[in-house]
Structures are given as structure tokens and as C-alpha cells.
Amino acid sequence: MKTYLKIVMVFVLITSCQDQKKEVDSLKSVLEKAKQSEKKEKDVSKAEKPLKMVTKAQFESFFPKTIGDYNLINVAVDEKRGIGTGSYIKGKDYANGMTYFVTDGKVKGAAALRNFEYSYQSNDIAPEGREFVRMERDGFKTFAMLEHKYNTYDISTIYNNRFQLKVQTHEKPDVLWTYLKQANLQILDPF
């Protein structure tokens, strides 16, 4: 019986050592895969060009001094979020304003492009008092939201597959479309 017990102990010891060897081998392979993955990520990040951002000066030169009867009174820029806003008033009437938004859709965390595409492709029906107009104008997809109840209208489009352009005021979408095109769009071309 002692002999039998010794044989079983030797067998258990051998299998135990083999299990540890398997664990060590699998741990080594996991570490090697992690190192290879990390190396690939570094290579990819080196190959990517850093995202060129629109500066405050470029945003300021993007917005025209006048659009139709509206005069530019302020340009606000959030460079970190890639948003520029031009505030306009009609004559000297601050109650009759217009806002022109430019949003960089490639900034980390930005959802402008995705939200625009969803709005444009969606078959959602506007709530009561509002109307959605999806239309192609001059080769650009446009999405307009008309709030007849408040006499407020906005139109947006995507420019250069990166920037969402949006104008909001009391004018109808066709007029807003002409306003949208009056900005210095060439400023956004290099991006």
C-alpha cells in the first residue's frame, strides 16, 4: 500500500508541475500579445496626423460682417469643442437677431455629424407646431426645422464632411440657405 501511495504522490507531483508549466506558457503568450497590440497602437498613433483645429482668428474671418440685412455684432469661439458662433442683428433691432453656428464634427466627443445624418435620414414626424424639411440644395443635404408657433426657423448642412453649418432666425429656409452660403467657406477647405 505504501508503494501505491508513493506512486500516486509522484503522479500528482508530475501533473501539478505540468499544470503550472501550462499556466506559465499561457501567461507568457498573453503578455506577448499585449506587447504586440501596444506596439501596433503606437505605430497607428504615429501614422495619424494630428487633428488640425480651426483657430479663433479663422472663425472670426469665416463670418461675414453682413448677411442680408443682418450685421455681425459678436463672434464667440470655443476652440476646445470646435464651435464658432456669429451673432447678427437686423439693423439696430436686438429683438430681430440671427445666429450662425459652425461645429467641427471631428473634435473628440462631437456628435454634430452623426446627429445631422440621423435627422436627415430619419422619417420622424415633427411634434405639433413644428415641421421638418429634408431637402438637397445645390448638392448639399439640408435639414430645416420650422417652428411656426414661435416664428423661428433653422437650417443646417454638412460642409467638407466635417463641419456642421447652421443658421437660425425668423426667415424662411430658402432665405436661410442663401445666408448659409454667404460665409467664407474656403476657410474650412484645408481642414
pTM, rounded to two decimals: 0.70
Handedness of CA 72, 68, 168, 64 (dihedral sign): negative
Q: Looking at residue 2, what is its pLDDT?
A: 64
Do residues 122 and 138 share a domain? yes
Q: Which pLDDT does position 180 carry in this prediction?
A: 87
Domain shared by 163 and 121, yes or no? yes
With a cut of 70, which residues of the chain have pLDDT below it? 1-2, 4-49
Q: 50, 91, 58, 44: which is closest to 72 by C-alpha?
A: 91
The CATH number that applies at residue 94 is 3.40.1000
Same domain, 8 and 79: no
Element (H, E) at 130: strand 130-137
User: What is the domain extent for residue 43?
Assistant: 1-48
Q: Are residues 44 and 65 in the same domain?
A: no
Residue type, 93: D
27 with 64, same domain: the answer is no
Rg over CA atoms, the chain: 30
Identify the pLDDT of residue 67. 93
Q: Are residues 96 and 173 in the same domain?
A: yes
φ/ψ of residue 55, rounded to 5 = -85, 170
The dihedral built from the CA positions of residue 121, 125, 129 and 131, taken in this order, carries a sign that is: positive
Check residue 87 and give its pLDDT: 96
Grid cell, residue 147, equals 417652428
pLDDT, residue 44, reads 47
Q: What's the domain count of the chain?
A: 2
